[in-house]
Chain A
Amino acid sequence: MRSKSYRFVLPTIVVAAFIGATFLLCQQALSAPPDSGSGAASSSAGKQIYESHCAYCHGLAGKGDGIAAAYLSPRPRDFTAGKFKFRSTESGSIPTDDDLLKTISEGLHSTAMPDWKTFISSDSIKLVIGYVKTFSARFANEKPRPFIVGSEPTMTPSRLATGAEVFQRLQCQSCHGVGGTGVGATASELFDDWGNPETPPKLTEPWTFRGGSSPADIYLRFRTGIDGTPMPSYISSATDAEMWDAAFYVTSLGRTPAWKMNADNLKKFYASQDSDARSNPIKRGKYLVDTHLCASCHSTFNADCTMKDGMAFAGGVKIDLYPFGVFYTQNLTSDKETGLGNFTDAEIKRAITTGVTKANGRMLPFPMPWPSYAMLSDEDLNAIVAYLRTLPPVYNKIPPPEHLNIVSYMWGKFQMLILGKVFPGKFYSGNYGISNPSAGKSISDASKGVQK
């Protein structure tokens, strides 16, 4: 009896398991069609991956306004316009799925876009592509107009020479500079379609070409343009062969990157970098301010950690350093009344390198890392000051620091030094400055009235 039931039950379980597994596999295969991406199930799977991996920079609604977006340059892509830079499709066309797959898999060189293929399977990336395409109606209404790159011609010296002529004729140097050095006449006045300043890449630094630096990649940029930027398609002003020649010429402009140079060349390279910095201190200063974490504390941020609009470098972040007091970060913009407008160069440098405030107060060595900034060279300090002077004025009146009464201060110090208690420094979101000039004035007038 028992053995009979076993003989019946066991095969039944095996068959049931087989049917179940087949069913599950089929369902999975059906719900993840490789190229359509419009199925509800795939879209929700794509949405999930998008929200956990992409939204941090590109935003939940794909507007390129994620949590980190305002801190990044170039800004993350806004998907809602359906405009994509790196395509194998005609100028103005939406990209193919393969274009998007390439961008997401390989990342974009020299930007914050990582090579996702290292972390996510290509099937998952395809699901994300399906979801990204839902942000713009263009993908539902239009078909991409793909352009097939013909076979790559062989590079010859004569092709290079023609390429140099084509480069001249197409006025490439007006943005990219003569010889592709990145300092063209119009290079500082370029903006993308979203109003962000656009820096044309130095063609001498092929590792910064976001869409790749092979001749075929560069040829595609000539042929299809970079949508949303001042880089047009040259389809109507150059022949196919000429665009290949120009692409070869551009690849020939590339120099050795610093990390592969020999000692002599590296020394010369750093010397030329230093002399560039001396001749353009504002540019050097911007680079130093952008890379020295100033925005972390001197730009007001919202509760969701996004930067507050229009408050870049306007200070007003509240930092509670119990038991030392409550401090508010300085407005670094050039505003005369509330920013650095009334600071002398020496006062700015003194604050940065010694932590001594304009009112002769002393800053703790943290969180303002002035002991580190003390190691900046004089030239770099001058460059920082020169750049800060160019920040457009933002009125934001910063409150003075608040210190504890002596008893609380001593009690806090006792716990800290004798009992070994660790008190956290606390950072608060929101602006603690007074950003409304009329309100700011009335308060300062009122306090003057009290003093009288």
Chain B
Amino acid sequence: MKKALKWILRIVVALVVVGFVCFLYFIPPFYIAPPEAFSKPEADAPPSLANITDPAERALAEHGKYIVSTVGCSACHTPIGSKGPTYEKYLAGGLKLSGKVDGAFVSRNLTPDTKVGLGRRTDDQVLRVFRTGLLPEGREALHRVMPWYALSAMTEEDRHAVLAYLRHLTPVSQHIPDPDFKAPMADTASAEEFYPSDYGIAQ
């Protein structure tokens, strides 16, 4: 009786250990889950624009939504939590990128929050960043950190569409810390380091 119990206990412990090892091995299940498991949440994340009353504004924003979704802005501007991208904070910023000579930058909050997001910026300021990489504070965004060269290659009309869409994102009160120009690299042999996490500060 006691022996049987002991064996059962052993089996349970063994199952737990094997289960834990499998969990470690397979989570996140990049190699077993179908690709749709990752592309569907990404496709579902953008907000609906159905409630924009001006039909011209809605059509422009819809066009911008297609561009923003397919360019992959979300890859750097939607923070990563323990279970992957935090889609409740869609495009609210918070990932960290370090450059060898430039310091560490946290991706910015693109939602229209008026205190910490893009709601603080004028249309001209945002369009200038898209076209020229020149940030509202007069500093050039580094093209390998924020690839503004791609937005610069867009037509003016597409840049306006992107802006129209960003103005209709769900505002998220996520404060983004200033760049740290003296931050050291974890590995000085690499050129850039990308930290998949959330360095934003919820307000």
Contact = CB atoms under 8 A, between A and B. Distances in A.
Interface of A: 53, 56, 67-68, 71-73, 107, 109-115, 118-119, 205, 207-208, 257-259, 261-263, 266-267, 270, 287, 290-293, 295-296, 301, 303, 305, 320, 324, 353-356, 362, 364-367, 369-376, 380, 409-410, 413-414, 417-418, 420, 422, 424-429
Given A259-B60, A291-B71, A371-B38, A424 B134 contact: no
Interface residues of B, number: 69
| 7 closest A-B pairs by CB | A369-B72, A263-B55, A372-B72, A424-B193, A354-B35, A259-B160, A426-B190
B35 A374 contact: yes
A290 B160 CA distance: 18
Contacts, number: 193
A118 B131 CA distance: 15
Contacts of B21: 410
Nearest to A365: B38
Given A107-B132, A258-B60, A258-B160, A354 B195 contact: no
B49 interface: no
B197 A422 contact: yes
18 contacts: A71-B147, A72-B149, A112-B152, A259-B161, A266-B56, A287-B153, A293-B71, A362-B31, A364-B30, A369-B75, A370-B35, A371-B41, A375-B43, A380-B70, A413-B25, A418-B24, A426-B192, A428-B189
B132 A296 contact: no
B170 interface: no
A287 B73 CA distance: 17
Contacts of A364: 30
Given A68-B149, A73-B153, A428-B191, A355 B35 contact: yes
Contacts of A420: 82
Interface string B153-178: 11111101100100000000000000
A301 B131 contact: no
A418 B138 CA distance: 42
B66 to A, nearest CB: 7
A427 B39 contact: no
Contact of A110 (B72, B100, B156): B156
Interface centre among A71, A324, A380 (most CB of B within 10 A): A71
Nearest to B191: A429
A262 B63 CA distance: 14
Interface in B45-69: 54-56, 58-60, 63, 66-67, 69
Given A110-B156, A114-B128, A374-B35, 8 more contacts: A71-B147, A73-B153, A114-B132, A287-B153, A374-B39, A414-B24, A422-B197, A429-B191
Contacts of A354: 35, 39
Interface in B1-37: 21, 23-25, 27, 30-31, 35
A410 to B, nearest CB: 6
B126 interface: no
B182 to A, nearest CB: 17
A425 B194 contact: yes
Contact of B42 (A303, A374, A410): A374
B98 interface: yes
Contact of B187 (A270, A290, A295, A426): A426
B132 A113 contact: yes
B186 interface: yes
A244 to B, nearest CB: 27
B59 A356 contact: no
Nearest to B21: A410
B191 A303 contact: yes
A109 B196 CA distance: 36
A113 B152 CA distance: 10
Contacts of A262: 56
Nearest to A374: B39
B143 A71 contact: yes
Contact of B194 (A72, A109, A427): A427
Contact of B147 (A296, A353, A373, A375): A296
Contacts of A426: 186-187, 190, 192-194
A305 B102 CA distance: 11
A359 to B, nearest CB: 14
